[in-house]
């Protein structure tokens, strides 16, 4: 992962674990996360997965059982132009969100770290997008 980070020019990112949580040596910046998101959103399968708000899948191991996933990115259901990416929260970074929104002919990626509350993410990202679109 660190080698790929270097290839993507993620200068302030170091991965110390695959899951990215609760390891002191996992570090990044909003700019590096946005760069990573920009590259990831070029992959059609990635785009398909991160835009799914709710999914139900039958179990092959346990006939009759259905697995249910609800995406924690509430913008997927609140903003019709949200095309996904991911939420996160760690003790060091607080509530975070990397979101992609389609506005006019632009695909905009916004990354917010250390939001004041878990719910602040859902309010801050649309405000930033609206501000950014006015500047284009």
CATH code of the domain containing 48: 3.40.710.10
- Asked if residue 22 belongs to a domain, the reply is no
Q: Which residue has the tokens 């939420």?
A: 87
pLDDT of 65-104, one tens digit each?
999 999 999 999 999 999 999 999 988 889 999 999 998 8
Residue 43 lies in a domain: yes
Number of domains in the chain: 1
Q: Say if 23 falls within a structural domain.
A: no
pLDDT in tens, 37-73: 999 999 999 999 999 999 999 999 999 999 999 999 9
Name the percent of the chain lying above pLDDT 70: 97
- Please tell me the predicted confidence (pLDDT) of residue 136: 59
In a domain, 109, yes or no: yes
Domain membership of residue 57 (yes or no) is yes
For the record, the structure tokens of 132 come out as 């950014």
Q: What is the domain extent for residue 85?
A: 29-135
In a domain, 24, yes or no: no
Q: Would residue 120 count as lying in a domain? A: yes
- Listed in order, strand segments (DSSP E) in the chain are 54-58, 66-70, 82-90, 94-103, 106-112
Of 30, 29, 38, the C-alpha closest to 109 is 38
């Amino acid at each position: 992962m660190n080698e790929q980070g270097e290839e993507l020019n993620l200068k302030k990112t170091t991965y110390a674990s695959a899951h990215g949580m609760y390891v002191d040596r996992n570090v990044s910046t909003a700019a590096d996360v946005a760069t990573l998101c920009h590259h990831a959103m070029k992959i059609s399968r990635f785009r398909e997965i991160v835009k799914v708000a709710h999914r139900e899948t039958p179990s092959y191991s346990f006939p009759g059982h259905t697995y249910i996933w609800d995406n924690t990115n509430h913008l997927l259901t609140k903003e019709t132009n949200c095309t996904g990416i991911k939420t996160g929260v760690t003790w060091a970074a607080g509530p975070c969100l990397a979101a992609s929104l389609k506005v006019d002919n632009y695909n905009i990626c916004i990354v917010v770290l250390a939001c004041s509350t878990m719910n602040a993410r859902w309010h801050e990202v649309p405000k930033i997008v609206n501000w950014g679109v006015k500047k284009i």
